[in-house]
């Protein structure tokens, strides 16, 4: 196993361990480790595994752990003594138990606004796939089938956005350029945002959902947003309404989305799930007309630049007794 290390002789410095890494993120991380010179030593394992025992073994001596791509379950927290977890994403609550971390005096950091364009573009890619079925058509042609399929024109259709932060606003801009009519749930969003982006505010979530041809979720996962989209809200989906979630599955009441989709009248595209990684025998995989991607909306070259920089900055701040992107 190849291991990348900085200042290994400086045993007087805190040890920062990255137990697994996505290959395409190695180079951007290496470029940022200079920020930790004379502050901390780094040990980065240049492979990717979800095996919990391997992760724990690699992090046994760590003072700080960089969490990239794996869920830091309670069973991992309980077996380690690290005092800071630097998470390479925004919605850290679905990867680390924040209450447990707080009880144990563990700092948890995240990264912010690194992937507004990355996630928004993936959202639009999913929307286009639902509307024009490019993947299906590609498979048809390659097997000698020239039947094709009817497309769904997005121009003039109504997009309802739940969550109008950086990602939601970026989706709104792109959808507006496509000629869609954009509305959004009016939840703690400044009036000027709606005015600047020509978005119609809707106070009632049921009304927003019922009046949309496409519904897209873009809320962050917080205590206040967990399960905020209820089974009752999903009842407002008209048959044929396209439903997209690139935020977090936990935004939706547990089990509610599966129950709604199993009726078979809602084309949906999902990048996030209640249990990850999704297994082939998951009920979602057997529903016709559903597009599933493996939580990859955030994974772009541009997003990696922001992620790696902020993760290293949060580690440097912790080691220097400062604050940067602290969640708990």
Structure tokens, 276: 């990850």
**Longest alpha-carbon distance in the chain:** 68
CATH architecture of 3-114+300-319: 3-Layer(aba) Sandwich (3.40)
CA distance 243 to 260: 11
From 30, 52, 129, 276, the catalytic residue: 276
> What pLDDT score was predicted for residue 72?
94
Contacts of 281 (CB under 8 A, 6+ apart): none
Question: ω before 306 within 30° of 0 (cis)?
Answer: no
pLDDT of 156-178, one tens digit each? 999 999 999 999 999 999 999 99
Sheet (strand 64-67) strand order = 3-6, 41-45, 15-18, 64-67, 84-87, 107-109
How many angstroms from the chain centroid is the CA of residue 271?
Answer: 8
CA dist., res. 219 & res. 130, Å (int): 21
Cβ atoms of 94 and 254 within 8 Å: the answer is no
Q: Give residue 94's pLDDT.
A: 87
Quote the pLDDT of residue 273: 97
The answer to whether 48 and 20 are in contact (CB under 8 A) is yes
Same CATH topology for 3-114+300-319 and 116-292: the answer is yes
Please pick, among 117, 122, 218, 295, the residue that the annotation labels catalytic. 295
Spatial CA neighbour of 85 closest among 315, 319, 321, 272: 315
Dihedral pair phi/psi, residue 206, rounded to 5°: -60, -40
How does pLDDT run across 44-65, given as a tens digit for each residue? Answer: 999 999 999 999 999 999 999 9
- Name the catalytic one among 41, 107, 122, 248: 248
* Residue 295 appears among annotated catalytic residues: yes
Give the Cα separation of 320 and 301 in Å (integer). Answer: 29
What is the spatial distance between Cα 97 and Cα 161, in angstroms, rounded to a whole number? 28
For residues 312 and 35, is the Cβ–Cβ distance under 8 A? yes
Q: What is the pLDDT of residues 274-288, one digit of tens each?
A: 999 999 999 999 999
- The fold of the 116-292 domain, in CATH, is Rossmann fold (3.40.50)
Per-residue model confidence (pLDDT) at position 223: 87
DSSP state at residue 199: -
**Domain ranges (residues) in the chain:** 3-114+300-319, 116-292
Concatenated DSSP letters of 251-277:
GBPTTHHHHHHTTS---EEES--SSSS
Distance from C-alpha of 270 to C-alpha of 268, rounded to nearest angstrom: 7
Q: What is the pLDDT along the chain (328 residues), one digit of tens a residue?
A: 899 999 999 999 999 999 999 999 999 999 999 999 999 999 999 999 999 999 999 999 999 999 999 999 999 999 999 999 999 999 899 899 999 999 999 999 999 999 999 999 999 999 999 999 999 999 999 999 999 999 999 999 999 999 999 999 999 999 999 999 999 999 989 999 999 999 999 999 999 999 999 999 999 998 899 999 999 999 999 999 999 999 999 999 999 999 999 999 999 999 999 999 999 999 999 999 999 999 999 999 999 999 999 999 999 999 999 999 999 9
């Amino acid at each position: 196993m190849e291991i990348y290390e900085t200042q290994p002789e400086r045993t007087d410095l805190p040890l920062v361990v990255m137990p697994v890494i996505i290959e395409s993120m190695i180079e951007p991380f290496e470029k940022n480790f200079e920020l930790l010179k004379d502050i901390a030593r780094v040990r980065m394992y240049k492979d990717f595994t979800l095996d919990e025992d391997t992760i724990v073994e690699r992090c046994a001596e760590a003072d700080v752990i960089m969490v990239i791509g794996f869920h830091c379950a309670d069973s991992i927290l309980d077996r380690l003594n690290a005092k800071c977890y630097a998470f390479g994403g925004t919605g850290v609550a679905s990867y680390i138990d924040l209450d447990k971390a707080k009880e144990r005096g563990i700092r948890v950091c995240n990264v912010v606004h690194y992937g507004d364009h990355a996630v928004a573009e993936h959202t639009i890619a999913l929307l286009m796939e639902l509307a024009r079925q490019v993947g299906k058509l590609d498979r048809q042609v390659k097997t000698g089938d020239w039947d094709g399929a009817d497309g769904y024109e997005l121009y003039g259709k109504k997009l309802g956005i739940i969550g109008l932060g950086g990602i939601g606003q970026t989706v709104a801009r792109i959808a507006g350029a496509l000629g869609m009519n954009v509305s959004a749930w009016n939840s703690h969003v400044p009036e000027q945002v709606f005015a600047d982006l020509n978005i119609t505010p809707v106070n009632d979530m049921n009304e927003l959902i019922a009046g949309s041809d496409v519904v897209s979720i873009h809320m962050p996962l917080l205590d206040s947003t967990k399960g905020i989209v209820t089974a009752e809200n999903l009842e407002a989906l008209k048959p044929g309404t396209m439903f997209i979630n690139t935020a977090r599955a936990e935004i939706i009441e547990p089990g509610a989305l599966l129950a709604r989709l199993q009726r078979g009248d809602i084309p949906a595209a999902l990048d996030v799930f209640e249990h990850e990684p999704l297994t082939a025998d998951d009920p979602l995989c057997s529903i016709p007309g559903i597009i599933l991607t493996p939580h990859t909306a955030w994974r772009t070259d541009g997003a990696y630049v922001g992620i790696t920089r902020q993760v290293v900055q949060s580690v440097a701040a912790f080691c220097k007794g400062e604050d940067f992107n602290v969640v708990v």
